Structure 1
Amino acid sequence: MRDVRRPAMPDHRERVISGLEVRKMLRTLGWSRRAPVRSVAQAVANAFLLALQTGCRAGEICGLRWSDVGAGFFAVDGKTGKRDVPAVPATMRTIALMCGFDDELVFGLRSQSLAAMFRKYRGRAGLAGFTFHDARHTAATRLAQRLHVLDLCKMFGWSSTTRALVYYNPKAVEIASRITGAAPTRSLR
């Protein structure tokens, strides 16, 4: 047993879902910003959108009850305990689209079904390389540019600011563009 070593910790995923990939997924899932949800695919689209807007996990989204939704926030019970998630008007509109789909649960989905449907429609959209959980990375990366790190930690349920470094995944050219105030340039390759 002297030669046996503990396996190395795997690298953290650093996948941020692009705007084009988001639009393709929403189109494939039949998402509409005006019509109420009538199919499971549309419920998956709204769950994906909520994950992108708030960084909530699939289990938190699937466990969200109508009684947990308030004015400007909603309460989730997740891996790190209960927390209130701030909801901007766009987030509240995403939740409102779910009215009438399920009487008790906002999205009316189980997390296993959400993951399976997400993979199925990602394939139909001709996309690969990202998971539903990568929407959490995408949300953290986008929100980190607008929120103080402590607010971001509170919103995501992190007890340590070092967790933000795992989920915040900007590209070097994006950081450089913020330093110089210029638009990011295309790769020379």
Structure 2
Amino acid sequence: MFDETAAIPSGLHHERFVATPLTTDTAALDYASYMASPHVIRAHSDGRWPIDGFTLEDDLKLVAKHQADHENRRAFTFVLLAPSLREALGCLYVNPLREYLQRAGADRRILDAVPAASAMVTFWLRQDQQGTGLADVVVEAVNDWLLTEWPLATHLFRVLPDERSSCAALDRLNLRKTRLSLPGDTRPYVWYQPLV
């Protein structure tokens, strides 16, 4: 997604949340947030992510993979923490868009239109944060952060219709809503792109 000289931001500090790389040091906070959010996790993952019987040890294995991807600049996962840094509010993922589109069977016209330094952005917020306005804050702050501090040519947010708070927040921001026809992806994803 990026060349080796591109500077990647270490995090985002906002008065409502702090985005910091997800590591094994923050895994327990991430796990607590995840397990407190079964409906959110099911909606965000379309039922693909485990909940019943999912243990902290299971989470640590996934977090270690996210941490390795982040450190090796393959993909970037941030845990969203409360300002106190004692509680996780959700997670943010900044993944290579072109790689995703290739896996999903995008045609050459779409792939040629997407620069290498492009990101697919997804996120989820803890269940008790739904309807609190946090989604609006996160979407606006993250969009500005990606536009101003990341070495990206473009980014697209991706959500599923059942992620109601996230969809509503993205609808309220000045973004272009679109659907991509991807033969390898059967989920009804909705995509949002900045207008700049």
> Normalized per residue, which structure has more strand?
2
Normalised by the length of structure 1, the TM-score is 0.26
> Normalized per residue, which structure has more helix?
1
Normalised by the length of structure 2, the TM-score is 0.25
